[in-house]
Amino acid sequence: MAGNHTEHTFMDIAALLTEQATDIFRLGLLAGLVYTTERTRAQTGVLLPLLAGIVFVAIIIPATMPKPGVDMWVATGTGLVVNAVITALFWLAWQRISRKSRA
């Protein structure tokens, strides 16, 4: 391809997704996001804070801790996908636990 645009293979992307999904820093930030969102739900709602947090984490991690050979946009795009999935799982777990504690 023309310019300095790098092509990424499926295996490169799969490895990046796996690395991001198991990043303890990312997991901690997203767990904190869900906890804070649920604790402030009456004042801030749920959807907007979760979406803003997902985007923030997807941008801040590759911006502050870039991986050699990984384009910032690729890392951010895959980060958005991984963050959305992890946040959904954490939020569902929170709902299930809080439902059990109320019963």
Query: How far is residue 12's CA from residue 14's CA, in Å, rounded to a whole number?
Result: 6
Chain mean pLDDT for the chain: 92
- Predicted pLDDT of residue 8: 72
Average pLDDT over residues 10-23: 93
Q: Which amino acid is at 29?
A: L
Q: Is the pLDDT of residue 2 over 80?
A: no
Q: Indicate the pLDDT class of residue 100, thresholds 50, 70 and 90.
A: confident
Query: What's the Cα-to-Cα distance from 83 to each of 1, 5, 7, 60, 99, rounded to whole Å?
Result: 30, 25, 23, 12, 24
Residue pLDDT, tens place only, 39-79:
999 999 999 999 999 999 999 999 999 999 899 999 999 99
